[in-house]
Structure 1
Amino acid sequence: METALTRLVGVRHPLVQTGMGWVAGPRLVSATARAGALGILASATMTVDQLRDAVKEVRSRTTAPFGVNLRADAADAGDRVRVLVEEGVRVASFALAPSRELITELKEAGVVVLPSVGARRHAEKVVAWGADAVLVQGGEGGGHTGEVATTVLLPQVVDAVDVPVVAAGGFCDGRGLVAALAYGAAGVAMGTRFLLTSDSTVPDAVKARYLAATVRDVTVTRAVDGLPHRMLRSDLVDALERAGRVRALGQAVRRAAELRRLTGLTWRGMLRDGRALRHGKDLSWSQVLLAANTPTLLRAAMVDGRTDLGVMAAGQVTGLIDDLPSCAELVERVMAEAEEVLGRLTLMADGPRAADDPATSA
Structure 2
Amino acid sequence: METALTKLVGVRHPVVQTGMGWVAGPRLVGAVAEAGGLGILASATMTYPELAAAIRDTKQRTAAPFGVNLRADATDAAERVRLLIEERVAVASFALAPKPELITRLKDAGIVVIPSVGAARHAEKVAAWGADAVIVQGGEGGGHTGGVASTLLLPSVVDAVDIPVIAAGGFYDGRGLAAALAYGAAGVAMGTRFLLTRESTVPDEVKRKYLGFGLDGTVVTRRVDGLPHRVLRTELVDGLERAGRLRGLGRAVANAARFRAVTGMSWPTMLREGRAMRHGRDLTWAQVLMAANTPMLLRAGLVQGRTDAGVLASGQVVGLLHDLPSCAELITGVVGQAVEILARLAPPVAVEHP
Query: Is the counterpart of residue 98 in structure 1 residue 92 in structure 2?
Result: no
Structure 2: distance between partners of 1:36 and 1:188: 13
Q: CA deviation at 1:243?
A: 1.0
Matches within 5 A, 1:222-261: 222-261=222-261
Structure 2: distance between partners of 1:239 and 1:145: 21
Q: 1:104 and 1:358, CA in 2 relative to 1: closer, same or farther beyond 3 A? A: closer
Q: CA deviation at 1:166?
A: 0.3
Q: Which amino acid aligns with 1:338?
A: A
Structure 2: distance between partners of 1:291 and 1:279: 11
Structure 2: distance between partners of 1:76 and 1:142: 26
- Any conservation in 1 of the 2:31–2:328 contact (CA below 8 Å)? yes
Q: Which amino acid aligns with 1:10?
A: G
Query: Is the counterpart of residue 302 in structure 1 residue 298 in structure 2?
Result: no
Structure 1: distance between partners of 2:232 and 2:154: 25
Q: Which amino acid aligns with 2:163?
A: V
- Any conservation in 2 of the 1:224–1:287 contact (CA below 8 Å)? no
Unaligned runs of 5+ in 1: none
Structure 1: distance between partners of 2:20 and 2:304: 16
Structure 1: distance between partners of 2:251 and 2:129: 39
Structure 1 match to 2:79: 79
Structure 1 match to 2:169: 169
- Per-residue Cα deviation, 1:312-339 (whole angstroms, up to 9, x for no partner): 1000111111000000010111111011
Q: Which amino acid aligns with 2:294?
A: T
Q: Which amino acid aligns with 1:223?
A: R
Q: 1:253 and 1:9, CA in 2 relative to 1: closer, same or farther beyond 3 A? A: same
Structure 1 match to 2:25: 25
Q: CA deviation at 1:277?
A: 4.1
- Any conservation in 2 of the 1:28–1:39 contact (CA below 8 Å)? yes
Structure 1 match to 2:179: 179
Q: Which amino acid aligns with 2:95?
A: A
- Per-residue Cα deviation, 1:3-33 (whole angstroms, up to 9, x for no partner): 0000000000000000000000000000000
The SS at the match of 1:216 is: coil
- Per-residue Cα deviation, 1:200-248 (whole angstroms, up to 9, x for no partner): 0000111011111101111111111111100100000011111111111
- Per-residue Cα deviation, 1:284-339 (whole angstroms, up to 9, x for no partner): 42222111121111110110100000011000111111000000010111111011
Structure 2: distance between partners of 1:279 and 1:47: 21
Unaligned runs of 5+ in 2: none
- Any conservation in 1 of the 2:227–2:278 contact (CA below 8 Å)? no
Q: CA deviation at 1:343?
A: 1.6
Which stretches of structure 1, 4 residues or more, deviate above 2 A after TM superposition?
A: 273-285
The SS at the match of 1:313 is: coil
Structure 2 match to 1:293: 293
- Per-residue Cα deviation, 1:97-128 (whole angstroms, up to 9, x for no partner): 10011111111111100000001111111111
Structure 2: distance between partners of 1:54 and 1:358: 58
The SS at the match of 1:33 is: helix
Structure 1 match to 2:274: 274
TM-score (norm 1): 0.95
Structure 2 match to 1:149: 149
Structure 2 match to 1:193: 193
State how many pairs are aligned. 353
Q: CA deviation at 1:256?
A: 1.0
| Higher deviation after alignment, 332-341 or 279-288 | 279-288
RMSD of aligned C-alpha atoms? 1.3
- Any conservation in 1 of the 2:70–2:95 contact (CA below 8 Å)? yes
Higher helix fraction (1 or 2)? 1
Structure 1 match to 2:313: 313
The SS at the match of 2:92 is: strand
Structure 2: distance between partners of 1:232 and 1:281: 26
- Per-residue Cα deviation, 1:117-150 (whole angstroms, up to 9, x for no partner): 0011111111111101000000000000000111
The SS at the match of 1:40 is: strand
- Any conservation in 1 of the 2:167–2:180 contact (CA below 8 Å)? yes
Structure 2 match to 1:122: 122
The SS at the match of 1:220 is: strand
Structure 1 match to 2:53: 53
Structure 2: distance between partners of 1:264 and 1:224: 22
Q: Which amino acid aligns with 2:121?
A: R
Q: Which amino acid aligns with 2:118?
A: G
Structure 1: distance between partners of 2:324 and 2:43: 24
| Higher deviation after alignment, 25-34 or 278-287 | 278-287
- Any conservation in 2 of the 1:297–1:311 contact (CA below 8 Å)? yes
Percentage of pairs with the same residue: 70
Structure 2: distance between partners of 1:287 and 1:324: 37
Structure 1 match to 2:136: 136
- Any conservation in 1 of the 2:278–2:291 contact (CA below 8 Å)? no
Structure 1: distance between partners of 2:114 and 2:8: 11
Structure 2: distance between partners of 1:332 and 1:254: 44
Structure 1: distance between partners of 2:192 and 2:136: 16
Structure 2: distance between partners of 1:201 and 1:302: 8
Structure 1 match to 2:43: 43
TM-score (norm 2): 0.97
